[in-house]
């Protein structure tokens, strides 16, 4: 991987970018992680083929599902994030 002509070496930090809680929790991969953890499933067979941010979102979803009560829905009926779910992430996981 190259960044401005520089070749990353083992142990180098990969490039990062700013994000938001809403962007992370709104990712379909976050929802997959929540669903899989709540159903007691292991990691999906396709996990290894996902790009890094998708894997991060999935793992964050699994972590959130470990902490969140099962009755706490990630999203409301209309598909928007449940404010209580976001509050749990912000208050207890950050």
Over residues 22-40, the pLDDT tens digits come to 999 999 999 999 999 999 9
CB atoms within 10 A of CB 32: 21
pLDDT at residue 2 in the model: 47
Go through the chain and tell me how many residues it has. 94
Query: Facing residues of 7 across strands?
Result: 2
pLDDT at residue 5 in the model: 63
Chain CA centroid to CA 47, Å: 13
- pTM to 2 decimal places: 0.81
pLDDT at residue 94 in the model: 66
Burial class (CB in 10 A: 0-12, 13-18, 19+), 20: exposed
Burial class (CB in 10 A: 0-12, 13-18, 19+), 82: middle
Over residues 37-53, the pLDDT tens digits come to 999 999 999 999 998 88
Over residues 6-18, the pLDDT tens digits come to 677 888 877 778 8
- Choose among 5, 3, 2, 64: nearest CA to 32: 64
- 3-class DSSP state of 41: coil
């Amino acid at each position: 991987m190259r960044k401005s002509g520089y070749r990353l070496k083992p142990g180098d930090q990969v490039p990062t970018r700013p994000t938001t809680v809403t962007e992370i929790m709104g990712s379909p991969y976050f929802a997959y992680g929540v669903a899989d953890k709540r159903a007691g499933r292991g990691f999906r067979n396709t996990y290894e083929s996902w790009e890094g941010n998708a894997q991060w979102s999935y793992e964050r979803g699994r972590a959130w599902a470990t902490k969140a009560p099962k009755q706490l829905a990630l999203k409301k009926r209309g598909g928007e994030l449940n404010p209580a779910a976001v509050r749990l992430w912000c208050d207890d996981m950050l």
